[in-house]
Copies of this chain bind each other. A is one copy, B any other.
């Protein structure tokens, strides 16, 4: 999963100051602050402004007050590329990163399972110690930072329309945070640093890409998502109308167009896999997984009386159909009582949270005193 941001170099070769990394099952997410070439940092608080832009090679970056916040991803299977990238940044910065309060020079904050899995590799290859940060702590810290400090971070999405929502600080908690990476974590967030992972599902982004790769010739998440645009899930899904002879099942509120069984049409037809269009398969898969996540999320929100569900993680990738399906699922199951919200920096919650764990001036970030 990469949303097109894996390759390409940061154009202005900034001198890095803080770098944090979130190594998940599929993707490595990396965030680093730089003072920028020709810019001088006003203070250590390098992550203090958020005017975002998408540059031509697909990397999101942000102008900072006195610096820049950079976002980068690599496939976890290509961890060597990530190591090379960090090596280049290390040279830029002059040889290492400081961990405040520690004598050690080459230490970076790291979260996700890969902080454990690849600790030895980073030490061997880069002489860098990964300072492990709890994954849930980081997801929540990243989400809280974004929701409190960043203007136009959260939005609703229905029928192709994105509506930005600015949430009053005092009205933010509690909420449900659903992070959709390879797998899915659902976290009830009650305040800064106050949270509980209440649920999750193994049917997530890894399932979409894993099954998608097996069922189509796609090699990447982007390619699979792109295919889904053009597909028609009704070719593979069994609809209520397929069972009811074109009729609705009104008594229980099921329209003939509702999906009764995902991939259910593949049961009765004597078609081989290659006779299906990969577009249709991709769309059915995306819908099945997005709808399922929306449903389980809603049931957990209901359980704890949470009205807002924020969806993050790289699976969403700003993709219209994914967001629409999740929104419709939450709306359908909650009968309009709960609301799905999305985050502009969805994929980088964990990495941002790890970045927050440096001894930078978080108070200004978290109190929304940012230009």
Contacts and interface: CB of A to CB of B under 8 A. Distances in A.
A322 to B, nearest CB: 16
A324 interface: no
A262 interface: yes
B25 A202 contact: no
Contact of A243 (B77, B113, B295, B303): B113
A278 to B, nearest CB: 11
B207 A288 contact: yes
Interface in A35-69: none
9 contacts: A26-B267, A77-B268, A113-B240, A113-B247, A182-B264, A199-B333, A206-B238, A210-B238, A215-B215
A119 B247 CA distance: 13
Given A116-B247, A182-B260, A259-B202, A211 B210 contact: no
A135 B249 contact: yes
A242 B278 CA distance: 29
A263 B206 contact: yes
Contact of A202 (B24, B76, B262, B273): B262
Q: How many chain copies does the complex carry?
A: 2
Contact of A203 (B119, B213, B242, B292): B292
Contacts of A118: 245
Contacts of A268: 26, 75-77
Contacts of A116: 244-245, 247
Interface residues of A, number: 70
Contacts of A199: 295, 299, 333
A252 B186 CA distance: 11
A113 B249 contact: yes
A197 B258 CA distance: 15
A333 B299 CA distance: 13
Nearest to A259: B202
Interface in A227-269: 236-238, 240, 242-247, 249, 251-252, 259-268
A156 interface: no
Given A201-B295, A210-B264, A268-B26, A134 B251 contact: yes
B292 A206 contact: no
A243 B182 contact: yes
Q: Which of A182, A204, A296 lies at the interface centre, i.e. has the most chain B CB atoms within 10 A of its CB?
A: A182
Interface in A132-156: 134-136
A267 B209 contact: yes
A170 to B, nearest CB: 29
A25 to B, nearest CB: 4
Given A25-B260, A299-B303, A202 B252 contact: no
A96 interface: no
Given A249-B113, A264-B25, A268-B76, A238 B182 contact: yes
A298 to B, nearest CB: 9
Interface string A102-125: 000000000011101111000000
Given A26-B267, A266-B211, A204 B261 contact: yes
Given A25-B260, A136-B251, A182-B243, A267 B201 contact: no
A259 B202 CA distance: 6
A295 B303 CA distance: 13
A199 to B, nearest CB: 8
Given A197-B252, A206-B264, A210-B262, 7 more contacts: A112-B243, A114-B245, A182-B238, A201-B292, A207-B288, A210-B267, A302-B303
